Amino acid sequence: MKLAKFLDKYDKIIFDMDGVITGEQNYWNIAALTAYELLNDRLYYGEGDVPASVGENFRSIRAELFDGDRFIAAAKEKGVNSNWDLCWLAFCYLSRGLTPAEMTAHVRDGGLLAFDLYEEAAHIASEVCSLPLSETARDGPLWKKCRDLFQEWYLGDELFESMWGGKSAHKGKPGMWQTEDPIVPLEGLRELLTALTGGGKTLGIATGRNRFELAKPLERWDCLKYFDPASTIDSDFIVRGEENLRREGIVTGLSKPRPYMFLKALYGADYDDLRLYRGDYDPAPIGRALIVGDAGSDILAAKAMGADFLAVLTGISGEKARPYFEETGAEYILPNVLHMMEN
């Protein structure tokens, strides 16, 4: 197997993770469980008790709350990238009394993109939960409560308390991170990464995952070694980058579909955040970089920085996503990353 000829144009290839290298099924299960617990447990905004054993019912809960995954597809097409944002949006809309189908239709047909959806959701939660908007805004206390509960499901009791610094509200969550699988056969993934690095390509990652969630599965599959550490960008960079900009009087979000993460992976983890924000960088490397993703947030971010984009059809919409990527100007559309090699 050798690399596809079109890759000769590129020196650096930057991958999204979920839906590209790693499967997203696990995360979507957790997002659904998180929204369910927030809506139904008396410790949050419900009236009952949601024991950890409810995790055994993740399939039926996800199917119901996320409208048979149609909500996930709609949100991703609008540029929602983080699964923390996904479950927070679902909680906000469902708490207002929308049915899952109504929620899907609103997101799909309402004409709002990710950051507008976040603003709308914050206003809904402020009204429903009788909280000031500062409490319900994205990255505010309510959003962080959703994020922490998601991490409780993902990490499990022990790691959540020792690594995340939280205290489990309901004991018994074992940690769903241990069940992750790559989205393509592992042998093929290793063959691809070996061919890319052997062909002189520098590999990067730009993901909404935090460092633990980025590194753990790749280490377990013996794949982390293929990626340049200076080009491996996780959600912790978003937090630090937004803090750095706030110190300069700039209040803005940096997550996809903003191009910050891909720019950071391209120019290096140490590149100054204010300079990236202001466009103070040599544009030449962009012409030698290829972004690989599966979602609307990925291609929107790539196009915002002027980079070529390779869409893989391993996201939530599968082959149905092809017209979207064609309309938004993807340079390449492949069934999965293994098609970056040819016989």
Structure confidence at residue 175 (pLDDT):
87
Helix and strand element counts for the chain (H, E): 16, 8
Structure confidence at residue 163 (pLDDT):
84
Tell me the backbone φ, ψ of residue 315, rounded to 5 degrees: -80, -170
Structure confidence at residue 165 (pLDDT):
84
Q: What single letter denotes the amino acid at residue 291?
A: I
Residues in the chain: 343
Per-residue pLDDT of the chain (343 residues; tens, 9 = 90+): 799 999 999 999 999 999 999 988 888 999 999 999 999 999 999 999 999 999 999 999 999 999 999 999 999 889 887 889 999 999 999 999 999 999 999 999 999 999 999 999 999 999 999 999 999 999 899 999 999 999 999 999 888 988 888 788 788 888 888 888 899 999 999 999 999 999 999 999 999 888 988 998 999 999 999 999 999 999 999 999 999 999 999 999 898 989 999 999 999 999 999 999 999 999 999 999 999 999 888 999 999 999 999 999 998 888 999 999 999 999 999 999 999 998 7
Nearest-angstrom CA–CA distance, 264 and 158: 32
Are 154 and 203 a contacting pair, CB within 8 Å?
Answer: no
Structure confidence at residue 316 (pLDDT):
81
Q: Where are the domains of the chain?
A: 2-23+180-342, 25-178
Structure confidence at residue 277 (pLDDT):
95
The two three-digit tokens of residue 235, written as one number: 């959600």
Q: Which residue matches tokens 């957790």?
A: 30
Structure confidence at residue 209 (pLDDT):
87
Strand ranges of the sheet holding 332-334, from the earlier edge strand across to the other edge: 232-233, 202-206, 12-15, 289-293, 308-312, 332-334
Q: The CATH number of 2-23+180-342 is which of 2.60.120.10, 3.40.50.300, 3.40.50.1000, 3.40.50.1360?
A: 3.40.50.1000
For residue 133, what are the CA distances in angstroms to 151, 274, 336?
Answer: 24, 28, 41
Are 262 and 307 a contacting pair, CB within 8 Å?
Answer: yes
